[in-house]
Structure 1
Amino acid sequence: MKEQDINPWQTLSSKKIYDNPWISLTEHQVINPGGGKGIYGEVHFKNLAIGVIVLDDANNTWLVGQYRYPLKAYSWEIPEGGGPENIDPLTSAKRELLEETGIEAISWTEIQRIHLSNSVSDETGIIFLAQDLSFGESNPEESEQLIIRKIPFLEAYEMVLTGEITDSLSVAAILKVKITHFNSL
């Protein structure tokens, strides 16, 4: 075992503070790496975060706009949502893309796995690139009031650079696709 893989934290006790169908919150009494006693709050996500970046033959992509309640702000994002941990993430990605945009894809590539807020949560995000597209009607969930935008991919990239897109799955997906598919542009 490498030195960096050894956990320097000691857990004295743990107590679940909150639980709902999507998240749980646990408070841990700990001794930190410096030897001091303290508490550490941990949010456990009961679903995987799933993101889909769409790319057509003309290098367009699709963004989904919606008001994000926790942020109290509007957000432009790639199509995304939650996927149960016991279901293949690709199945969840296909469902989210179809639900939010009405788009189906033949070609799917997993492009990245990321931790979304590793200082307070264990949430893992899985991002897919969807290509070879067909189009139908979207069917968003009751909690989603969405605006769908088809834009040139490089415009989405500029939105990341200017801070207009701030969602972490979206930023990671757009930057990854820029590096791997458009590096010479």
Structure 2
Amino acid sequence: MAKEKSNKKEKKDAKQRKEKSVSATAAAKSRSKQPETAEVLSSKLQYQGPLFSVFSDHIVEPNGVECTRDVVRHGGSVVILAVDDSQSKRDPMIVMERQYRHAAGQYIWELPAGKIDGDESRLAAAKRELIEETGYRAKKWSPLVRYFASPGFLGEWMQIFLAEGLTLGDARPEEDERIDLYLISLSEVLRLIDAGAILDGKTLIGVQFYARNRKQKTKS
């Protein structure tokens, strides 16, 4: 009797999951008929700085909501997951930085990253930033993943590149950059993430996305 009740419950749960999946698909199709971006009724510059600008936009969102949103506009940034597997293919080394971040009020473990200069491409910016901050050059480059860091108010999206086939040269950090450079095994970086020692968003996304892809490739 208990087994029969358990089977009925499993069937009921499966049916509910299927119904939710179907309703989600239908909702997505319905939304696809709506405009994809907001109608901007007015936009006022509130702050202009060397790194970013802040605008107050009066808009009508695709769902019909009329409101004012404060938006931080930035020229764009790139992130580099630089991997050295010359010593171990199973547990490669990751180029990591540790530097003080005033906004966070603490030292942060993170992947190399930086802003795009002028009209340079994201890949060109990634190659330049890797050299400037770490001294490393890479033979192979490929886009790994991109993401919006905080889409509630920040318009910027960040592209993470995978850099492989590393050779070391001289770093050329900017005057206000004080960066400690480390080579840390992937397994140790993942351990630090699990321990809560790595709090930087781009590093959490880049390293774990890379580790998941490696795991899937190993299984296949």
Could you say which TM-score interval applies, normalised by the shorter chain?
0.7 to 0.9
**Residue aligning to 1:49:** 77
Please show how residues 2-21 of structure 1 align to structure 2 within 5 Å: 3-4=31-32, 5-6=34-35, 11-21=40-50
Counterpart CA distance in 2 for 1:7 and 1:131 is: 37
- Greater Rg over alpha carbons, structure: 2
SS of aligned partner of 2:50 = coil
Deviations 1:22-41 (A, max 9, x none): 21101123567575x65311
Please show how residues 135-174 of structure 1 align to structure 2 within 5 Å: 135-174=168-207
**Residue aligning to 2:51:** 22
Counterpart CA distance in 1 for 2:141 and 2:199 is: 24
Supply the AA of the counterpart residue of 2:141: W
More deviation in 109-118 or 23-32?
A: 23-32
Greater relative contact order, per chain length (Cα 8 Å cut-off, separation 6+): 1
Identity %: 27
- Larger strand fraction of residues: 1
Q: 1:96 to 1:9 in 2, by over 3 A?
A: closer
CA drift at 1:124:
1.1
- Larger helix fraction of residues: 2
Counterpart CA distance in 2 for 1:8 and 1:126 is: 21
SS of aligned partner of 1:84 = coil
SS of aligned partner of 1:92 = helix
SS of aligned partner of 1:66 = strand
Please show how residues 83-122 of structure 1 align to structure 2 within 5 Å: 83-84=116-117, 86-122=119-155
Supply the AA of the counterpart residue of 1:90: L
Aligned length: 183
More deviation in 142-151 or 3-12?
A: 3-12
Counterpart CA distance in 1 for 2:138 and 2:39 is: 47
Unaligned runs of 5+ in 2: 1-28
Counterpart CA distance in 1 for 2:195 and 2:64 is: 39
Supply the AA of the counterpart residue of 1:105: A
SS of aligned partner of 2:116 = strand
Unaligned runs of 5+ in 1: none
Counterpart CA distance in 1 for 2:40 and 2:137 is: 46
CA drift at 1:84:
3.3
CA RMSD of aligned residues (A): 2.3
Q: 1:52 to 1:8 in 2, by over 3 A?
A: closer
